Structure 1
Amino acid sequence: MSLSDIEPVSRESTAGIIARQLRDAIMTGALPPGTQLGETDLAARFQVSRGPLREAMQHLVSEGLLRSERHRGLFVIDLGPGDVYDIYSARWAIERAALLRALRGDREGVAAVLEQAVAEMATAAGEDDPAALSSADLRFHEALIEASGSKRLVRMARTLLIETRMCLAALQGTYQRVEERVEEHTHIIDALRAGDETKALALLEAHMDDAVQRLAPGTSLTQHEVPPIG
């Protein structure tokens, strides 16, 4: 058999479908942090045998979204201050690289794509729809990373952005004015469009550091003492 004999897979596997639905439930908060996943209940809910269910859950363990406790089972991860710091510091490294590529490439094209996400954020803010606001917020950052043209940056960011969505559910309650989130993203676009590298990077870092301080008071991306993870 040669590589030319390999045929494309036409359908997503049962385990893949289950993993995707569980991932979405974790991301949106339908399965909150700390939730224990029972095989019997989930197998009945998905109407599948335990084989594909276990395979799906192991995918999420490898992605870091589920944790295994000996003799107790699987749980949705909890995000403590150290985890929040870790997520956002890793994101800062990835998105800084993506933003630098955008600044040195088609700035106007990237800015136009990012503005679509900000427009969705503004609409959600106006309609007082926190879930839609968080989804649009995430799309902004996904679009920035995708605009880098780097498959590796996109791949590295995938799980981080799912964990970020978990953070956003808590973050949305910390703003007195939801318009603040829209404004922060708009300022980043303005600096990108102007080609002001120093300002754009500073705004992106400040945006992430603000989220860290809101989610984990006393913690900062710029602090010297790093909080323990987990």
Structure 2
Amino acid sequence: MSKEQLLSNFRNYLLERGLGPRDKLDGEIELARLFEVSRGDIREVIMHLCHLGVLERVKNRGTFIKDVPHAKLEEEIAFCFQLSGFSFDDLKEARICLETALVPMLIKRITPELIQSLHGNISAMKELAGESELADALDRDFHLLLFSCCGNRALKMFSNVIYLLFQKRYRKRFMTLEWVMRAAKGHAAILDAIAAKDTTLATRLIQEHIMPT
């Protein structure tokens, strides 16, 4: 069995077993027997996955699935995306697809408390329009708050990755006073449409909000 095939089989084994963060793997001897390879081959696969941050070895205890914080995972994914050379247009199109597709779910799940928080975010963004870094953080938080009300962790993670990429490579060019005020106005219109449960209008406003960037 080639090393590439062993690694692929080992990954499938982890998934099929339904192992999750902090779960312990079988010992190297048992795994070597299971895959019908040498203990050295299994150790090499385990070390490779440890270097990738998937597994961790604990002295005198064994090998475990690593519990990776979401923020760390998002940073790693964003880094891989950066190396892959995704363009600004790729990111913008991904944002439009992701955010507009969520509108029906947002309208169903948004709460009065979250609407109030979003209004507070918009007010703070206007007040701090001259502070580019703070205004930028508030702009990002507005969109991430919308994702959070969907209650879907995977969607929230994907949105964070897109924002990390956008922020690292393109964000500074947009951070002018005029842009911040226009963005805050766009946020207010989007929020009003969502609160009014107007799916068509909210979808159009989100698309118009992202397109000029």
Give the TM-score, by structure 1 length. 0.54
Pair 1:95 & 2:109 matched: no
| Consecutive aligned runs of 4 or more in structure 1 exceeding 4 Å deviation | 59-62, 76-79
Tell me the distance in 2 between the aligned counterparts of 1:60 and 1:96.
22
User: Structure 1 residues 77, 135: closer, same or farther in 2, change over 3 A?
Assistant: farther
Residue 203 (structure 1) shift: 0.2
Counterpart of 1:170 in structure 2 is 173
Give the unaligned 5+ runs of structure 2.
Answer: 1-18, 24-51, 54-72
Counterpart of 2:148 in structure 1 is 146
Counterpart of 1:112 in structure 2 is 116
Tell me the distance in 2 between the aligned counterparts of 1:185 and 1:60.
25
Tell me the distance in 2 between the aligned counterparts of 1:106 and 1:142.
13
Tell me the distance in 2 between the aligned counterparts of 1:177 and 1:164.
16
User: Structure 1 residues 183, 203: closer, same or farther in 2, change over 3 A?
Assistant: same
Give the partner amino acid of 2:180. V
Residue 185 (structure 1) shift: 0.7
Query: How do 1:1-230 and structure 2 match up within 5 A?
Result: 6=22, 63-65=77-79, 83-125=87-129, 128-166=130-168, 167-173=170-176, 176=178, 178-211=180-213
Tell me the distance in 2 between the aligned counterparts of 1:99 and 1:115.
18
Give the unaligned 5+ runs of structure 1.
Answer: 8-14, 17-58, 68-75, 212-230
User: Structure 1 residues 191, 111: closer, same or farther in 2, change over 3 A?
Assistant: same
Give the partner amino acid of 1:104. K
Residue 66 (structure 1) shift: 6.1
User: Structure 1 residues 98, 114: closer, same or farther in 2, change over 3 A?
Assistant: farther
Give the partner amino acid of 1:108. P
SS at match of 1:210: coil
Alpha-carbon contact 1:92-1:208 (below 8 Å) kept: yes
Q: Larger RCO: Structure 1 or Structure 2 (Cα < 8 Å, ≥ 6 residues apart)?
A: 1
Tell me the distance in 2 between the aligned counterparts of 1:63 and 1:151.
15
Tell me the distance in 1 between the aligned counterparts of 2:178 and 2:126.
15
Tell me the distance in 2 between the aligned counterparts of 1:183 and 1:61.
30
Q: Report sequence identity in percent.
A: 19
User: Structure 1 residues 105, 168: closer, same or farther in 2, change over 3 A?
Assistant: same
Give the TM-score, by structure 2 length. 0.58
